Amino acid sequence: MPAQYKAPQRILCLYTGGTIGCAPSPLGLAPKAGILSPVITDLLAQQHNLGISLTLREYPEALDSSSMQPLDWLRIAQDIDAAYHQFDGFIILHGTDTLAWTAAALHWQLSQIDKPVVITGSQRPWLELGSDAPANFQLALEGVQSQRRAVMVAFSGLLLPGHAVKKLDADADAAFAAPNWQGEWPTIQAGNYQFYPLNPSLNILSVKLYPGCETWLASSINSQVFAGIAIETYGSGNIPDHFLLKSALKNAVQAGSLIINCSQCIRGQVRQGHYAAGSFLQEINALAADRLSVEAATTWLYTALAQKTDHDSLRKAWQTATHMV
Protein backbone atom coordinates (compact mmCIF):
# COMPACT_ATOMS: atom_id res chain seq x y z
CA MET A 1 0.00 0.00 0.00
CA PRO A 2 1.54 3.34 -0.97
CA ALA A 3 2.62 5.65 1.82
CA GLN A 4 0.19 8.40 2.62
CA TYR A 5 1.09 11.61 0.80
CA LYS A 6 2.30 14.42 3.03
CA ALA A 7 2.40 17.92 1.63
CA PRO A 8 5.82 19.55 1.82
CA GLN A 9 6.42 22.08 4.54
CA ARG A 10 6.23 25.58 3.06
CA ILE A 11 9.17 27.71 4.15
CA LEU A 12 9.74 31.37 3.35
CA CYS A 13 13.41 32.37 3.38
CA LEU A 14 14.19 36.09 3.48
CA TYR A 15 17.70 37.21 2.58
CA THR A 16 18.27 40.60 4.16
CA GLY A 17 22.02 40.80 3.58
CA GLY A 18 25.14 39.90 5.49
CA THR A 19 28.31 37.88 5.05
CA ILE A 20 26.47 34.73 4.00
CA GLY A 21 25.67 36.29 0.61
CA CYS A 22 28.78 38.42 0.21
CA ALA A 23 31.33 38.47 -2.57
CA PRO A 24 34.67 40.30 -2.91
CA SER A 25 34.49 43.93 -4.06
CA PRO A 26 37.10 46.69 -4.44
CA LEU A 27 36.16 47.87 -0.93
CA GLY A 28 36.13 44.41 0.64
CA LEU A 29 33.36 41.86 1.12
CA ALA A 30 29.92 43.24 0.23
CA PRO A 31 26.43 41.71 -0.17
CA LYS A 32 25.71 40.67 -3.74
CA ALA A 33 22.35 39.71 -5.25
CA GLY A 34 21.82 36.32 -6.86
CA ILE A 35 24.53 34.38 -5.03
CA LEU A 36 22.35 32.36 -2.69
CA SER A 37 19.59 30.99 -4.91
CA PRO A 38 21.71 28.42 -6.80
CA VAL A 39 23.61 27.17 -3.74
CA ILE A 40 20.44 26.80 -1.67
CA THR A 41 18.71 25.02 -4.56
CA ASP A 42 21.69 22.67 -4.82
CA LEU A 43 21.68 21.97 -1.07
CA LEU A 44 17.98 21.15 -1.10
CA ALA A 45 18.39 18.95 -4.20
CA GLN A 46 20.96 16.87 -2.35
CA GLN A 47 18.39 16.27 0.40
CA HIS A 48 15.30 15.61 -1.69
CA ASN A 49 13.56 13.78 1.15
CA LEU A 50 13.47 16.79 3.47
CA GLY A 51 9.82 17.46 2.65
CA ILE A 52 10.40 21.18 2.25
CA SER A 53 9.13 23.61 -0.35
CA LEU A 54 11.31 26.69 0.06
CA THR A 55 10.66 30.14 -1.37
CA LEU A 56 13.66 32.49 -1.36
CA ARG A 57 13.07 36.23 -1.40
CA GLU A 58 16.05 38.53 -1.62
CA TYR A 59 15.61 42.09 -0.42
CA PRO A 60 16.30 44.53 -3.28
CA GLU A 61 19.00 46.26 -1.27
CA ALA A 62 20.91 43.72 0.78
CA LEU A 63 22.24 45.36 3.93
CA ASP A 64 25.42 44.87 5.86
CA SER A 65 23.89 44.26 9.27
CA SER A 66 25.91 47.09 10.80
CA SER A 67 23.55 49.35 8.81
CA MET A 68 20.36 47.73 10.16
CA GLN A 69 17.92 50.19 11.73
CA PRO A 70 14.68 49.80 13.74
CA LEU A 71 12.79 50.39 10.48
CA ASP A 72 14.44 47.24 9.10
CA TRP A 73 13.38 45.24 12.16
CA LEU A 74 9.84 46.41 11.46
CA ARG A 75 10.04 45.53 7.78
CA ILE A 76 11.20 41.97 8.44
CA ALA A 77 8.44 41.46 11.00
CA GLN A 78 5.84 42.89 8.61
CA ASP A 79 6.99 40.54 5.85
CA ILE A 80 6.64 37.55 8.16
CA ASP A 81 3.23 38.69 9.38
CA ALA A 82 1.98 39.30 5.83
CA ALA A 83 3.01 35.78 4.79
CA TYR A 84 1.98 34.13 8.04
CA HIS A 85 -0.91 32.09 6.64
CA GLN A 86 0.87 31.10 3.42
CA PHE A 87 3.89 29.46 5.07
CA ASP A 88 4.62 26.95 7.81
CA GLY A 89 7.92 28.44 8.91
CA PHE A 90 10.40 31.20 8.21
CA ILE A 91 14.17 31.50 7.79
CA ILE A 92 15.87 34.90 7.95
CA LEU A 93 19.37 35.20 6.48
CA HIS A 94 21.08 38.08 8.23
CA GLY A 95 24.48 39.60 8.90
CA THR A 96 26.02 38.66 12.22
CA ASP A 97 26.93 42.09 13.61
CA THR A 98 23.39 43.05 14.66
CA LEU A 99 21.72 39.66 14.34
CA ALA A 100 21.05 39.52 18.09
CA TRP A 101 19.24 42.87 17.93
CA THR A 102 17.02 41.74 15.05
CA ALA A 103 16.29 38.43 16.78
CA ALA A 104 15.13 40.22 19.93
CA ALA A 105 13.08 42.73 17.92
CA LEU A 106 11.30 39.90 16.08
CA HIS A 107 10.67 38.05 19.34
CA TRP A 108 8.72 40.99 20.78
CA GLN A 109 6.87 41.90 17.58
CA LEU A 110 5.81 38.35 16.68
CA SER A 111 4.22 37.73 20.05
CA GLN A 112 3.17 34.14 20.81
CA ILE A 113 4.03 33.08 17.27
CA ASP A 114 3.07 29.44 16.79
CA LYS A 115 5.37 28.81 13.84
CA PRO A 116 9.16 28.54 13.80
CA VAL A 117 11.14 31.64 12.84
CA VAL A 118 14.85 30.89 12.51
CA ILE A 119 17.53 33.52 11.97
CA THR A 120 20.96 32.54 10.72
CA GLY A 121 23.97 33.83 8.86
CA SER A 122 27.64 32.99 8.68
CA GLN A 123 31.08 34.22 9.58
CA ARG A 124 32.36 33.54 6.06
CA PRO A 125 30.62 33.86 2.66
CA TRP A 126 28.81 30.78 1.38
CA LEU A 127 31.02 30.62 -1.71
CA GLU A 128 34.23 30.72 0.31
CA LEU A 129 35.99 27.38 0.75
CA GLY A 130 35.32 25.98 4.22
CA SER A 131 32.48 28.40 4.91
CA ASP A 132 30.27 27.83 7.92
CA ALA A 133 27.25 28.97 5.88
CA PRO A 134 26.01 25.58 4.58
CA ALA A 135 26.06 24.04 8.07
CA ASN A 136 24.26 27.02 9.58
CA PHE A 137 21.62 26.93 6.85
CA GLN A 138 21.18 23.19 7.36
CA LEU A 139 20.67 23.85 11.07
CA ALA A 140 18.09 26.52 10.22
CA LEU A 141 16.22 23.95 8.12
CA GLU A 142 16.21 21.60 11.09
CA GLY A 143 14.92 24.45 13.24
CA VAL A 144 11.94 25.17 10.99
CA GLN A 145 11.17 21.45 10.86
CA SER A 146 11.16 21.18 14.63
CA GLN A 147 8.03 21.48 16.71
CA ARG A 148 9.42 24.52 18.51
CA ARG A 149 7.28 27.63 18.14
CA ALA A 150 9.58 30.56 18.69
CA VAL A 151 11.97 33.05 17.21
CA MET A 152 15.30 31.21 17.20
CA VAL A 153 18.90 31.76 16.17
CA ALA A 154 20.68 28.87 14.41
CA PHE A 155 24.44 29.11 14.55
CA SER A 156 27.41 26.76 14.89
CA GLY A 157 25.36 23.74 15.93
CA LEU A 158 23.17 25.60 18.42
CA LEU A 159 19.50 26.58 18.33
CA LEU A 160 19.10 29.50 20.71
CA PRO A 161 16.14 31.66 21.79
CA GLY A 162 16.05 34.95 19.91
CA HIS A 163 15.35 37.05 22.99
CA ALA A 164 18.44 35.82 24.85
CA VAL A 165 21.15 35.73 22.18
CA LYS A 166 24.34 37.80 22.14
CA LYS A 167 27.22 37.90 19.68
CA LEU A 168 30.29 37.05 21.74
CA ASP A 169 32.98 36.41 19.12
CA ALA A 170 33.86 38.51 16.08
CA ASP A 171 35.89 35.75 14.40
CA ALA A 172 35.04 32.23 15.53
CA ASP A 173 32.31 30.11 13.96
CA ALA A 174 30.73 29.77 17.40
CA ALA A 175 29.91 33.48 17.41
CA PHE A 176 26.64 33.39 19.36
CA ALA A 177 25.52 32.22 22.75
CA ALA A 178 22.72 32.83 25.22
CA PRO A 179 24.91 33.22 28.32
CA ASN A 180 22.16 34.35 30.69
CA TRP A 181 19.45 31.99 29.46
CA GLN A 182 18.24 29.50 32.04
CA GLY A 183 17.31 26.86 29.46
CA GLU A 184 13.52 27.19 29.38
CA TRP A 185 11.86 27.95 26.05
CA PRO A 186 8.77 30.18 26.12
CA THR A 187 5.51 28.26 26.30
CA ILE A 188 3.41 29.08 23.25
CA GLN A 189 -0.28 28.29 22.97
CA ALA A 190 -1.48 27.75 19.41
CA GLY A 191 -3.85 30.41 18.16
CA ASN A 192 -2.57 33.23 20.38
CA TYR A 193 -0.29 34.87 17.82
CA GLN A 194 -0.44 38.67 17.77
CA PHE A 195 1.59 41.06 15.64
CA TYR A 196 2.81 44.05 17.63
CA PRO A 197 4.70 46.33 15.22
CA LEU A 198 7.39 48.45 16.80
CA ASN A 199 7.60 52.19 16.28
CA PRO A 200 10.96 53.03 14.68
CA SER A 201 10.36 56.74 15.23
CA LEU A 202 10.45 56.51 19.02
CA ASN A 203 13.30 58.39 20.65
CA ILE A 204 15.06 55.58 22.52
CA LEU A 205 18.43 55.87 24.25
CA SER A 206 20.55 52.77 24.82
CA VAL A 207 23.79 53.61 26.59
CA LYS A 208 26.60 51.93 28.51
CA LEU A 209 28.06 53.53 31.62
CA TYR A 210 31.79 53.93 32.01
CA PRO A 211 33.85 55.82 34.60
CA GLY A 212 33.95 59.46 33.53
CA CYS A 213 30.78 59.49 31.40
CA GLU A 214 28.53 61.00 34.02
CA THR A 215 28.63 64.70 33.12
CA TRP A 216 28.22 64.39 29.35
CA LEU A 217 25.59 61.66 29.76
CA ALA A 218 23.60 63.85 32.12
CA SER A 219 23.80 66.67 29.60
CA SER A 220 22.64 64.38 26.79
CA ILE A 221 19.69 63.07 28.80
CA ASN A 222 18.69 66.62 29.74
CA SER A 223 18.92 67.84 26.15
CA GLN A 224 15.88 65.96 24.85
CA VAL A 225 12.92 63.83 25.88
CA PHE A 226 13.40 60.09 25.49
CA ALA A 227 10.45 57.73 25.37
CA GLY A 228 12.65 55.04 26.87
CA ILE A 229 16.18 54.59 28.17
CA ALA A 230 18.04 51.28 28.45
CA ILE A 231 21.09 51.92 30.58
CA GLU A 232 23.86 49.36 31.03
CA THR A 233 24.94 49.73 34.63
CA TYR A 234 27.66 48.08 36.68
CA GLY A 235 27.38 44.64 38.26
CA SER A 236 23.95 43.87 39.64
CA GLY A 237 22.49 47.22 38.58
CA ASN A 238 24.60 49.91 40.20
CA ILE A 239 25.34 53.49 39.14
CA PRO A 240 27.85 56.06 40.42
CA ASP A 241 26.87 58.49 43.15
CA HIS A 242 26.95 61.46 40.78
CA PHE A 243 24.57 64.36 41.38
CA LEU A 244 24.23 65.49 37.75
CA LEU A 245 23.58 61.99 36.42
CA LYS A 246 21.05 61.16 39.11
CA SER A 247 19.27 64.48 38.58
CA ALA A 248 19.10 63.88 34.83
CA LEU A 249 17.65 60.40 35.27
CA LYS A 250 15.10 61.66 37.78
CA ASN A 251 14.10 64.48 35.43
CA ALA A 252 13.75 61.99 32.57
CA VAL A 253 11.35 59.85 34.59
CA GLN A 254 9.32 62.92 35.56
CA ALA A 255 9.13 63.83 31.86
CA GLY A 256 7.69 60.40 31.06
CA SER A 257 10.74 58.32 30.15
CA LEU A 258 10.66 54.62 30.95
CA ILE A 259 14.07 53.47 32.19
CA ILE A 260 15.33 49.88 32.11
CA ASN A 261 18.33 49.00 34.25
CA CYS A 262 20.50 46.43 32.42
CA SER A 263 23.77 44.93 33.63
CA GLN A 264 26.99 45.19 31.66
CA CYS A 265 27.71 41.60 32.74
CA ILE A 266 26.71 38.87 30.30
CA ARG A 267 25.70 36.59 33.18
CA GLY A 268 23.87 37.23 36.40
CA GLN A 269 20.87 39.21 37.53
CA VAL A 270 20.00 42.86 38.01
CA ARG A 271 18.98 43.31 41.65
CA GLN A 272 18.16 46.95 42.24
CA GLY A 273 18.73 47.96 45.83
CA HIS A 274 20.88 44.95 46.72
CA TYR A 275 23.67 47.50 47.03
CA ALA A 276 23.19 51.11 48.03
CA ALA A 277 24.60 52.10 44.63
CA GLY A 278 21.56 50.54 42.98
CA SER A 279 18.92 51.94 45.31
CA PHE A 280 18.50 55.22 43.40
CA LEU A 281 17.21 53.47 40.28
CA GLN A 282 14.78 51.58 42.50
CA GLU A 283 13.63 54.88 44.00
CA ILE A 284 12.85 56.42 40.59
CA ASN A 285 10.96 53.27 39.54
CA ALA A 286 13.36 52.07 36.87
CA LEU A 287 12.57 48.60 35.58
CA ALA A 288 15.13 45.94 36.47
CA ALA A 289 16.20 43.89 33.44
CA ASP A 290 16.66 40.80 35.59
CA ARG A 291 18.57 38.48 33.21
CA LEU A 292 17.50 40.10 29.94
CA SER A 293 20.18 41.60 27.70
CA VAL A 294 20.42 45.20 26.59
CA GLU A 295 19.45 44.03 23.09
CA ALA A 296 16.25 42.54 24.48
CA ALA A 297 15.52 45.56 26.67
CA THR A 298 16.09 48.14 23.94
CA THR A 299 13.99 46.36 21.33
CA TRP A 300 11.26 45.77 23.93
CA LEU A 301 11.07 49.53 24.47
CA TYR A 302 10.60 50.12 20.74
CA THR A 303 7.80 47.54 20.68
CA ALA A 304 6.03 48.00 24.01
CA LEU A 305 5.98 51.80 23.85
CA ALA A 306 4.34 51.55 20.44
CA GLN A 307 1.41 49.69 22.03
CA LYS A 308 1.07 51.17 25.52
CA THR A 309 1.71 54.51 27.14
CA ASP A 310 0.61 54.12 30.76
CA HIS A 311 3.45 52.94 32.95
CA ASP A 312 1.36 50.52 35.02
CA SER A 313 0.55 48.45 31.93
CA LEU A 314 4.15 48.65 30.77
CA ARG A 315 5.42 47.43 34.14
CA LYS A 316 3.10 44.44 34.04
CA ALA A 317 4.22 43.65 30.49
CA TRP A 318 7.86 43.92 31.55
CA GLN A 319 7.34 41.53 34.45
CA THR A 320 6.00 38.98 31.98
CA ALA A 321 8.93 39.60 29.65
CA THR A 322 11.62 39.09 32.29
CA HIS A 323 10.19 35.71 33.27
CA MET A 324 11.17 34.37 29.84
CA VAL A 325 14.84 34.17 30.74
Residues with a catalytic annotation lie at 19, 96
Structural contact between residues 14 and 55, judged by C-beta atoms closer than 8 angstroms: no
At residue 14, the 3 state secondary structure works out as: strand
Q: Could you give the CA distance from residue 198 to residue 190 in angstroms, rounded to a whole number?
A: 23
Radius of gyration of the chain (CA): 21
CB atoms within 10 A of CB 49: 5
Does 65 show up as a binding residue in the annotation?
yes
Residue 97 assigned ligand-binding role: yes
Residue 79 in marked binding region = no
Within a 13 Å sphere around the CA of 2, how many CA atoms are in the beta-carbon half? 3
What is the rounded CA–CA span in Å between residue 290 and residue 189? 25
In degrees, to the nearest 5, what angle opens at C-alpha 250 toward C-alphas 201 and 231? 55
* Paired residues of 55 in beta bridges: 12
List CB contacts of 34: < 8 A, sequence separation 6 or more.
Answer: 58
Is residue 295 left, alpha or beta, with left meaning phi > 0 and alpha meaning psi from -120 to 50? alpha
Binding residues: 65, 96-97
Binding residues for substrate: 65, 96-97
